[in-house]
């Protein structure tokens, strides 16, 4: 009986699961268990031996039951602890943030530009993308035969209508809409179209931002101050600008506006061809014919205008070296603008 007791306790000790423990219980205390078997033998013993034997077996059964209970409690506690550990929530882990997307860099750039010009009293004039030859060229002093009307560059819809090649016809439409009121002060952002093959710096569709100011006593100095304010606001407060003489049929005099290189801050680097300057915009004093075509009297008012590529401005601002990424919708590129 003693050996049986030792064996049972050892097996209880060694049981590592509740299922294994139940097997031990059945082996000793079940209906066909060994201890139960001993109790059944009582009847076959001489009468005087029965009480002592019975007491011994009962003590043995109680000892085994006691150990089983203890071990059961231990294994249950252990199982619970493991489960708690397994199911713990680490509240400090970052959550599953849903992808909400972000504005396209060109949209961001334009919104910034619009804000800067709002600050100087400009409004936004949205002109049409399908234009007449008259508005796109003639009213801007671009006489028939001018090279930029060439079929090489212009996407004609009919004999007399086309996809605008620049936002400058917005100058005429915007002025006509003002019906002679002063001051005229708006920007015209939007898509423009040219017959160009797509490469790192060309696209058949791109974006421009046109600007126009018409009022009494507007001078070249206003153009310079206005553009400097824009350049500093958009590229950073240290930005410088430089005006070089140029030619456009719709301005006189005309200028090309450069901004100090956004990469090397004007020191000279491969991006700016070591000059420290980046070409950004055409500009000039609005030609008297254009003022007249907009319904104003060039003897009474003067004005300045400028036009630059939005895509190019965004590329210079963020150091993007290939125009195509702005149109490909590659999320690996676009996600870099989240939160900017
Ligand atoms: N329209 C010109 C172009 O597409 C850019 C331009 C130059 C616009 C001078 C202007 C300007 O308003 O004054 O190349």
pLDDT band at 309 (very low <50, low <70, confident <90, very high): very high
Ligand 1 pocket, residue 251 CB under 6 Å:
yes
Mutate to test the pocket of ligand 1, among 125, 148, 166 (most ligand atoms within 8 A of CB): 166
- Pairing mode of beta strands 123-124, 184-193: parallel
Distance of CA 319 to the CA centre of its chain: 16
Distance 221 CA to ligand 1 centre (A): 18
Ligand 1 pocket, residue 163 CB under 6 Å:
no
Ligand 1 pocket, residue 193 CB under 6 Å:
no
Which residues share a beta bridge with 306? Answer: 211, 283
Upstream peptide bond of 253 is cis (omega within 30 degrees of 0): yes
Give all strands (DSSP E) within the chain, no chain letters: 123-124, 130-132, 155-156, 161-163, 184-193, 205-215, 241-248, 251-260, 277-286, 302-309
Closest residue to atom 13 of ligand 1, CA basis? 283
Closest residue to atom 4 of ligand 1, CA basis? 166
d(CA 59, CA 5): 10
Whether the per-residue pLDDT at 152 is higher than 80: the answer is: no
Ligand 1 pocket, residue 282 CB under 6 Å:
yes
List, for residues 203-233, the tens digit of each pLDDT value.
Answer: 999 999 999 999 999 999 999 999 999 999 9
Instruction: Write the DSSP string, 238-304.
Output: T--EEEEEEEETTEEEEEEEEEE-TTTTTS--GGGTTSSEEEEEEEEEEPHHHHHHTT--TTT-EEE
Query: What's the whole-model pTM score?
Result: 0.74
Distance 305 CA to ligand 1 centre (A): 8
- Taking residues 46-62, what's their average pLDDT? 91
Whether the per-residue pLDDT at 148 is higher than 80: the answer is: no
Closest residue to atom 5 of ligand 1, CA basis? 307
Dihedral of CA atoms 243, 246, 249, 252 in degrees, nearest 10, equals 60
Which residues share a beta bridge with 304? Answer: 213, 285
Whether the per-residue pLDDT at 98 is higher than 90: the answer is: no
- Taking residues 64-85, what's their average pLDDT? 93
Residue 278 is predicted with a pLDDT of 94
Residue 337 is predicted with a pLDDT of 92
Residue 192 Cα: closest atom of ligand 1? 4
- H or E segment at 169? helix 169-178
Residue 308 Cα: closest atom of ligand 1? 5
> Three-state SS for 1?
coil
Report residue 110 as tokens: 């334009």
Distance 238 CA to ligand 1 centre (A): 25
- Taking residues 283-311, what's their average pLDDT? 98
> Three-state SS for 338?
coil
Ligand 1 pocket, residue 174 CB under 6 Å:
no
């Amino acid at each position: 009986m003693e050996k049986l007791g030792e064996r049972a306790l050892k097996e209880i000790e060694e049981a590592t699961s509740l299922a294994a423990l139940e097997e031990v219980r059945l082996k000793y205390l079940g209906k066909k268990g060994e201890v139960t078997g001993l109790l059944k033998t009582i009847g076959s013993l001489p009468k005087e031996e029965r009480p002592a034997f019975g007491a011994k077996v009962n003590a043995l059964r109680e000892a085994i039951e006691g150990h089983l209970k203890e071990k059961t409690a231990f294994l249950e506690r252990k199982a619970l602890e493991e489960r708690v550990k397994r199911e713990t929530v680490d509240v400090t882990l970052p959550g599953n943030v849903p992808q909400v997307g972000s504005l396209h860099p060109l949209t961001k750039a334009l919104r910034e530009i619009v804000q800067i010009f709002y600050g100087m009293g400009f409004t936004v004039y949205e002109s049409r993308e399908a234009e007449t030859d008259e508005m796109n060229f003639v009213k801007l002093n671009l006489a028939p035969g001018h090279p930029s009307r060439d079929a090489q560059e212009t996407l004609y819809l009919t004999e007399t209508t086309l996809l605008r090649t620049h936002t400058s016809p917005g100058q005429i439409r915007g002025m006509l809409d003002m019906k002679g009121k002063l001051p005229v002060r708006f920007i015209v952002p939007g898509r423009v179209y040219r017959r160009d093959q797509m490469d790192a710096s060309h696209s058949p569709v791109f974006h421009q931002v046109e600007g126009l100011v018409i009022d009494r006593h507007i001078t070249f100095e206003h153009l310079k101050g206005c553009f400097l304010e824009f350049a500093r606001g958009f590229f950073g407060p240290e930005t410088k600008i430089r005006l070089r003489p140029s030619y456009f049929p719709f301005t006189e005099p005309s200028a090309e506006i450069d901004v100090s290189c956004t990469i090397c801050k004007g020191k000279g680097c491969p991006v700016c061809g070591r000059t420290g300057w980046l070409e950004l915009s055409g500009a000039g004093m609005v030609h008297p014919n254009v003022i007249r075509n907009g319904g104003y009297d060039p003897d009474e008012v003067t004005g300045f205008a400028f036009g630059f590529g939005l895509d190019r401005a965004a590329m210079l601002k963020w150091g993007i070296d290939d125009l195509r990424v702005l149109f490909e919708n590659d999320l690996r590129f676009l996600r870099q603008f989240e939160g900017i």
